[in-house]
Structure 1
Amino acid sequence: MVDNQPYLKDVLQLFDEFMQTEKLGTEDNSFAFVTCGDWDLRKMLPSQCKLLEIDVPTYFRKWINIKKVHADVVGRFPSGMLQMLSDLDLPHQGRHHSGIGSFFYRLFDVYGYASFGPNEQAHLSSAYSLVTVCACVGLFLCS
């Protein structure tokens, strides 16, 4: 636990309420999480939920790994954010990992984000509205 912060179970409950309020995941409002790597949603969140004996919400089982999208566009798999920016001749701004939302939006501008789909099915097919929720949940979704 992080000092003076809610437990994961409570954070997930609050996030679920947010998802329902915003009607995310409905037939009319599909979405996908955007991550920089698979580790957080493939390994860490499921492991932590298992340890705490709580279910992983189904909406955390689909995501877009921006590294895979980058590899499709640029032709090589990047080691991380700084390499992706360098490959695209984009300058790094601010502290590394602190501006995660702006990092994704800058890459979306380059890649043409309307064509991204969840990487677990196909990385560049179906259109999804992209939601970056790293800060909302308090989970750091970038490995």
Structure 2
Amino acid sequence: VDRGVTLSEALLKHDKWLENKGIKNTNFAVVTWSNWDCRVMLESECRYKKICKPPYFNHWINLKVPFREVFGGVRCNLKEAVELAGLDWQGRAHCGLDDARNTARLLALLMHRGFKFSITNSLMWQSADPLLAWNQAPGHLSAPPYYPQKPKDLHISQFQFNHPYCFCGVKSTKGIVRKPGPKQGAVFFGCGNWTLATGARCHYFEWVTP
């Protein structure tokens, strides 16, 4: 940690690495173990430090989901999952680099078994302020001050809705509740593969409006 770079430098280096490897403009996904890294930690840290992060961190694959599908719904931590899969844990648990390497090894094993991956989670609320758009130039890494608020406290007109990805790995479908009742007029996101004939292919559902 003492020899590490700042978060803004790390994001720039990572983005440049993706570009140099020819990955940046392809159909790729960030893979994590749990939703904490992208949904909470990275998002809140970037907001707090007024750092703009690349948009590809806004949707990701939580490896816990496919792991449980393959191994019968077992609940465990990353180290236990690696060992349950028949791999030897390498490095120190909860060390960021070692955790990332072991997550990659577990991912490779599931890929080798033929598992078909799709996006499992995404951030629903994205600021519409153009200053928050990702820009690689260091001079544009600042963002307007962020004041923590829950989505229900935010006025809808202040935000644009970037469709999150459903569990099928495609952009979700936006719908409006038309049935009379307390939720009439409320907006929601559902399975992107929903059709009138077949219904939804996955159980993804998320309210947009409170």
- Aligned AA for 1:13? L
Q: TM-score, normalised by structure 2?
A: 0.48
Structure richer in strand, relative to its length: 2
Q: Does the 8 Å CA contact 1:41/1:61 hold for their aligned counterparts?
A: yes
For the residues of structure 1 that align with 2:50 and 2:104, how far apart are their CA atoms? 32
- Aligned AA for 1:115? K
Structure richer in helix, relative to its length: 1
1:10 to 2:9 alignment = yes
Unaligned runs of 5+ in 2: 122-164, 171-210
Corresponding residue number in structure 1 for 2:61: 64
Q: Deviations over 1:83-121 (max 9, x none)?
A: 323544x15343343364255324532453562122123
Structure with greater Cα Rg: 2
Q: TM-score, normalised by structure 1?
A: 0.67
1:65 CA displacement: 1.2
Give SS of 1:34's match.
Answer: strand
Corresponding residue number in structure 1 for 2:38: 41
1:95 to 2:91 alignment = yes
Unaligned runs of 5+ in 1: 127-143
Percent identity over the alignment?
23
1:30 CA displacement: 1.3
Alignment RMSD = 2.7
Cα distance change on mapping 1:115 and 1:124 into 2, 3 Å: farther
Corresponding residue number in structure 2 for 1:108: 108
For the residues of structure 1 that align with 2:72 and 2:89, how far apart are their CA atoms? 24
- Tell which has more relative contact order, 1 or 2 (C-alpha 8 A, sep 6+): 1
- More displaced, 106-115 or 70-79? 106-115
